[in-house]
A = this chain, B = another copy of it.
Amino acid sequence: MSTELKSAAAVSHPNIAFIKYWGNRDHHLRIPASGSISMNLGRLETRTRVTFNPALTADRLILNGEPTSGKQLQRVQTFLDHVRRLAGIDLYAEVESKNDFPTGAGIASSASAFSALALAAAAAAGLQLSEAELSRLARRGSGSACRSVPGGFVEWLAGEDDQSSYAVSIAPADHWDLVDIVAVISQVHKPTGSTEGHALAETSPLQKARLKSAPARLEQCRTAILRRDFEALAEVSELDCNLMHAVMMTGARRLLYWQPATIELIHAAGEWRRSGIPVFYTIDAGPNVHLICPAAEADRVAAAAAQIQGVKEVLQAPAGSAAHLLAEEVNL
């Protein structure tokens, strides 16, 4: 076993799901109860360097320049333990990670975080992994992270075990010039985290029906992306979003992530679409509204969204590429 200092860095984008991931078949391995489809969010990125260092006596996590402890560090340690097992090494690592998007902005950073970590840690540990293997590895850290490994428009094949559950690219980023206009909404309370939320999904009397009808929506969404059929993508995405929130708000604990501005934006998106502007909404486990539209409409939609009361900030992200390693000499 080598005792040299081994380092690698990677970059990854967050992603926005059109067909949502909510509920697990296996919570520990994060095998989802159904497949999901997303678009990587270009411009926004996480950069992560992992250095296995014989001089360390414990794993370290430096997040946006700050040494981090507690649950965040623990989750990274558990992930690194898995990488060490796969690589047969026993060195502690320093993980340095930076997001170029505000962490409080409500864009899930765990997807890009664990995707970048998977690539950097695997490379630093000397593992030679395929894209599917890297996607499986990222999934162990955060379910949706597996979708940030391949590029562009991505489908997570639910599978039924660790081996069969990973994401693949449906189409590259330049296949369709869609833009995600993220309307960031100020929120009074910290919402329930996704991990707890996934566990609550099965307590809703609606979850089984949602899962049963998921394959049809996956098919519709995949086809809409391949055909660049905006209206079809809009219809299936809004329906699927509402289905997830329907499950969220009817569990043993009722999770209502929406804020007043969320509702205002949902209604606004409907009015804009009826008035002829191609745009639809989708919402993750938080109050922010993602307005998806062709690039040609992006500035107009972003300006309109910024006018809505309660919208704190508006970000724009086009379809983004696959996670990839960075050259050794690049600064994060």
Task: Mark A residues whose CB is within 8 Å of B.
Answer: 188-189, 205-206, 208-210, 212-213, 238-239, 242-243, 245-247, 249-250, 254, 256, 258-264, 266-267, 309-310
Report how many copies the assembly holds. Answer: 2
**In the complex, chain B residues whose CB is within 8 Å of the CB of A249:** 242, 245-246
Q: What 5 A-B pairs have minimum CB-CB distances, sorted nearest first? A: A260-B260, A246-B246, A209-B209, A205-B213, A242-B249
Taking the closest CB of chain B, its distance from the CB of A307, in whole angstroms, is 14
| Contact in complex: A205, B243 (CB < 8 Å) | yes
Contact with A206, one of B210, B254, B256, B262 (Cβ below 8 angstroms): B210
Q: Distance in Å from the Cβ of A183 to the closest Cβ of chain B? A: 14
Residue of B nearest to A256 (CB): B266
CB distance B262 to A263 under 8 Å? yes
Known: A208-B209, A213-B205. A254 touches B267 (CB 8 A): no
Choice from B205, B212, B242, B259 contacting A210 with Cβ under 8 Å: B205
Q: Name A250's contact: one of B208, B242, B262, B267 (CB within 8 Å).
A: B242
CA distance A103 to B259 in the complex (A): 28
Asked if B250 contacts A256 (CB within 8 A), the reply is no
Contact at B246–A250, with CB atoms within 8 Å?
yes
Distance, CA A77 to CA B209, complexed state (A): 41
Are A238 and B254 closer than 8 Å at their CB atoms?
Answer: yes
A242 to B266, CA, bound (A): 18
Tell me if A259 and B263 are in contact (CB < 8 A): yes
Per the bound structure, the CA–CA distance linking A238 and B255 in Å amounts to 12
Most buried by B among A209, A243, A260, A266: A260
The CA-CA distance from A250 to B244 in the complex, in Å, is 10
Min C-beta distance of A128 to chain B, whole Å: 43
